[in-house]
Amino acid sequence: MTVVRNATPADVEGVAAVVRDVWAREILPEVCRAQTEDDTSGLWVAVEEGHVVGFASAFLTVNEAQDRRWELDLVAVTPALQGQGLGERLIRRACQDGAQRDIALVRALVRVGNVASQKAFGRAGFMTDRRVYHLLQWSPRPARTPAAAVDGVSLLPVDTLVYRGLWIEGLEDVSPIRQSSAVAAARSIIARGGRLTAGALVAADREHLLAAGVRSRAETIGAYYWFVTPISAAGTQRQTMLRHGPGQCPQRVVDFPHQLTERQHEDLRSHIRSRVSG
């Protein structure tokens, strides 16, 4: 029988082995250990006969508007045991524990082509409107002057199991000059802190809002959907539909009835179609 439980420092090597099997890469063991101990992050493992066969990793981010998001950053199941519901169990467990941390939502970024992951998140109660986001990344670049905060843009240092980086949010909502300042600040912060990369997710249909100088210095890493589940004040997942706010992240959500009429289904389908083609 496979048990899903909180990870302990003794599970770090087991998590590393799953990451090697699934992505052929190494983890940052000190970040992994910290996630088992720190209240602003979480790590859960699926264990079978004493061996770690899967894990989920999450951490808290708080943006400029003070929205508290539980970022379900990585989920993986060892290849031989995929397709048996372990991914869904790990995701549900990460949501339950996240809900104890006064968060508004749990969200996960899933590659457009990753059908297994999309199904696992869907089964665990997440929703997406399939709006396509491009992940853009900038490399470290030291600056002579100290990095200053830029109004309207959140710069969020993140420590994940596989990299230390910085997320930029709200970039395309501010003027070209402020975009340049924010990216310069982000690049100097990661250069100073020994972080690997600064990244921003920009909706494909809003990428034209980026300043040419900002866009041209970025590398495009891939295309993603946000999968989101809101958490009620009582700490439970709610059935919802995504609605995009003015920022690039679908942070606003509205309750929607469990049973949709055929007409509502058609409206939702055409909304999703227009998002994908838009």
Ligand X SMILES: CC(C)(COP(=O)(O)OP(=O)(O)OC[C@H]1O[C@@H](n2cnc3c(N)ncnc32)[C@H](O)[C@@H]1OP(=O)(O)O)[C@@H](O)C(=O)NCCC(=O)NCCS
Q: Which residues bind ligand X (CB under 6 A)?
A: 22, 74-77, 82-88, 114-117, 119-120, 123
* Minimal distance, residue 81 CB to ligand X, in Å: 7
* Minimal distance, residue 120 CB to ligand X, in Å: 4
Question: Would you say 21 or 64 has its CB closer to ligand X?
Answer: 21
Question: Would you say 78 or 179 has its CB closer to ligand X?
Answer: 78
Instruction: Give the CB-nearest residue to ligand X.
Output: 87
* Minimal distance, residue 226 CB to ligand X, in Å: 13
Question: Would you say 25 or 243 has its CB closer to ligand X?
Answer: 25
- Asked if 234 contacts 99 with a C-beta cutoff of 8 angstroms, the reply is no
Residue tagged 């959907």 (tokens): 225
> What distance in Å separates the CA atoms of residue 42 and residue 56, rounded to the nearest whole number?
8
28 φ/ψ angles, rounded to the nearest 5 degrees:
-95, 100
> What distance in Å separates the CA atoms of residue 165 and residue 163, rounded to the nearest whole number?
6
| Residue 151 identity | D
Question: Would you say 72 or 190 has its CB closer to ligand X?
Answer: 72
* Minimal distance, residue 3 CB to ligand X, in Å: 15
* Minimal distance, residue 90 CB to ligand X, in Å: 7
Beta carbons within 10 angstroms of residue 255's beta carbon: 11
In terms of Cα–Cα distance, which of 145, 141, 133 is closest to 171? 133
Question: Would you say 79 or 176 has its CB closer to ligand X?
Answer: 79
- Helical spans, DSSP H, in the chain: 12-23, 29-37, 86-98, 115-123, 176-193, 212-216, 262-277
